[in-house]
Structure 1
Amino acid sequence: MSKAKILIIEDDKEISRLTAMYLEAEGYSTHIIADGAKAKTTVHHEQPDFIILDLMLPGLDGVSVCKQLRQFYQHPILVLTACSDDISEVSLLKLGADDYLTKPVRPHVLLARIENLLRRYQFTAQDSKQLQVGQLKIDTNKQQVSCNGLIPALTTAEYEMLLLLATHAGKIVSREDCCRALRGINYDFNDRSVDMRISGLRKKLNDDALPYQTILTIRNKGYMLSNG
């Protein structure tokens, strides 16, 4: 029985073929497209559980594809990129990617990232608690957030970051704890990855101007969701 349906958006035929072959050997079903312009229609039609997205695509580049998909697609998106510098990482987090890997991709690392992201998504999808902190409401059945009448479209990583802060409302959550919750205890993390997701959350919650009212920065300690 297939574990999950994975859409591979990659124009390199050999890379996509080998990736699909490896994932199918691990029990996943796959679908491949090579043109970024077909991504939106394909996602609506195929309803994948996970997307592997290359940045360099014909028709529509990966950055534009990710932005387009994030208007309606809430499942994990893993980006493949040839760049590994900090600027690329910041850009990827801003556009809505849940995680990224630099090429050439090692199959066992790709599989580990996919499994980790799917576990996180499935765990939050099964959680039936309703959380409310001040004007912030989290419906964990629908994985939907509302704040002061706004219903922001959050990525899986942003949603889980907010859920972590909400379950510890009024208490400081360290950057280390944020990263462990998002990427696993043994992941080699850095502060910028967490900070960028916090920045994205603030923007979507309409709280990106100082002084912050919802997600507070506690200097040299971490972040705290205000319960006031």
Structure 2
Amino acid sequence: MTKSILIVEDDTEMADLTSMLLESEGYQCAICSDGDKAIDAVKNHNPNLVLLDLMLPGKSGLEICKELRAFYTGAILVLTGKDNDISEVALLKAGADDYVLKPMKPHVLIARIESILRRMSQTSPSPTDHFSVSGLNIYPNKRTVKLDTGELLNLTTAEFDILLLLAQNAGSAVSRDECSKASRGIESDAYDRAIDMRISGLRKKLSNTSLGDSIIVTVRNKGYMLSKT
């Protein structure tokens, strides 16, 4: 099935070139050039992935990302020219799955998109449609997580991938590199805060539930662990 991508970019030439590139790779593309119209465009097109420029007229990419996460469960890949920890932290907190620095290299963009969509389409090899651990009921095929109380966790693509990995290894430490590969398809480095921010995001969402955030434990010099109960 053809995957659809909504390109939210105010630079018309850049948007057209990006659309041509992605369509040559087999994707179906639509373009939105106004930040104020981006939310409606996502609702109308319901794309598999939103390619979101950070600097837009009207609403900023950061504002759009936050608003999308109230209802959109697809992937959000942000284009940004700001290579610093503050913008990365803000993007991850807003719900972005990953980001690509501008000026972007075509092969890097394609690789990031393929990695995100591949993870989203992965299914569980288990014959059952879900498994339960530590009060979490995880449905890999549907990519959803419910608590024993019936509460549904609203997770980003990357947050789900990390929680699934931790749940599959409940009671054992999972390294930051393993978490990075699960959520971004690449290894982390000593200065990469993406995994720490995603774990922080998971803990925050769990803290508002009956489980609480203490079920995800930091294991010194090893990584993170889901407490097995």
- TM-score normalised according to structure 2 size: 0.91
CA deviations 1:88-132 (Å, max 9, x no partner) are 111111111000011101111101100011100010489763121
Structure 2: segments with no counterpart, 5+ residues: none
Specify the code of the residue in structure 1 equivalent to 2:147: C
Pairwise mapping of residues 66-81 of structure 1 onto structure 2 (< 5 A)?
Answer: 66-81=65-80
* Deviation for aligned residue 1:187: 6.6
For residue 153 of structure 2, what is the aligned residue in structure 1?
152
Task: Work out the CA distance in 2 between the residues paired with 1:160 and 1:153.
Answer: 13
For residue 163 of structure 1, what is the aligned residue in structure 2?
164
Task: Work out the CA distance in 2 between the residues paired with 1:187 and 1:213.
Answer: 24
Structure 1: segments with no counterpart, 5+ residues: none
Q: Confirm or deny: 8 A CA contact 1:9 1:32 kept in the other structure.
A: yes
| Percent identity between the two aligned chains | 52
Specify the code of the residue in structure 2 equivalent to 1:152: L
* Deviation for aligned residue 1:21: 0.9
Q: Confirm or deny: 8 A CA contact 1:126 1:141 kept in the other structure.
A: no
Task: Work out the CA distance in 2 between the residues paired with 1:64 and 1:100.
Answer: 15
Q: Confirm or deny: 8 A CA contact 1:145 1:152 kept in the other structure.
A: yes
Q: How many residues align?
A: 225
Specify the code of the residue in structure 2 equivalent to 1:26: E
For residue 205 of structure 1, what is the aligned residue in structure 2?
206
CA deviations 1:63-89 (Å, max 9, x no partner) are 110011111111111001110011111
Specify the code of the residue in structure 1 equivalent to 2:40: T
Task: Work out the CA distance in 1 between the residues paired with 2:187 and 2:224.
Answer: 21
* Deviation for aligned residue 1:193: 1.1
Pairwise mapping of residues 104-119 of structure 1 onto structure 2 (< 5 A)?
Answer: 104-119=103-118
2:28 aligned with 1:33:
no
Specify the code of the residue in structure 2 equivalent to 1:217: T
* Deviation for aligned residue 1:147: 3.0
SS at 1:205's partner residue? helix
Task: Work out the CA distance in 1 between the residues paired with 2:120 and 2:111.
Answer: 14
For residue 4 of structure 1, what is the aligned residue in structure 2?
3
* Deviation for aligned residue 1:186: 5.7
Specify the code of the residue in structure 1 equivalent to 2:175: S
- TM-score normalised according to structure 1 size: 0.91
SS at 2:193's partner residue? helix
Specify the code of the residue in structure 2 equivalent to 1:183: R
Specify the code of the residue in structure 2 equivalent to 1:141: N
* Cα distance change, pair 107–189 in 1 and its aligned pair in 2 (3 A): farther
* Deviation for aligned residue 1:141: 3.4
For residue 218 of structure 1, what is the aligned residue in structure 2?
219
**Cα RMSD for the two superposed structures:** 2.2
Specify the code of the residue in structure 2 equivalent to 1:163: L
